[in-house]
């Protein structure tokens, strides 16, 4: 599955695993919202955390401004936050 950054018409930037793209909608899972934390820092928080959006969420395309590929550092952080594997920056395997 592809990890994409989705900019919504509400202004929110959501990073998620794309499950399915249709002509009228986009379905994704494990969504996190990006926000400006401290200076030169980006924070992540669950997107609508009081729901089961982690399992899958479909949004109509009219609410999506664009989708883009995030930079590798953001993908690495996203995977660490949503998965069971911690990926070292150096690419080394730690046993």
Percentage with pLDDT > 70 across the chain:
87
Parse the chain into domains and list their residue ranges. Answer: 2-82
Q: Which two tokens stand for residue 13?
A: 């930037």
How far apart (Å, rounded) are the C-alpha atoms in residues 6 and 18? Answer: 10
- Cα distance between the two ends of the chain: 27
pLDDT at 92: 62
pLDDT over threshold 60, residue 95: no
Domain 2-82 has CATH 3.40.225.10: no
Percentage with pLDDT > 90 across the chain:
76
Neighbours of 13 (CB within 10 A): 16
């Amino acid at each position: 599955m592809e990890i994409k950054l989705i900019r919504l018409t509400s202004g929110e930037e959501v990073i998620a695993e794309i499950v399915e793209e249709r002509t009228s909608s986009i379905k994704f899972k494990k969504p996190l919202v990006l926000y400006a934390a401290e200076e030169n820092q980006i924070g992540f928080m669950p997107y609508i955390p009081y729901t089961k959006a982690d399992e899958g969420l479909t949004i109509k395309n009219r609410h999506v401004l664009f989708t883009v590929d995030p930079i590798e550092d953001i993908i690495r952080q996203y995977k660490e936050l949503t998965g069971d594997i911690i990926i070292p920056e150096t690419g080394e395997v730690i046993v």
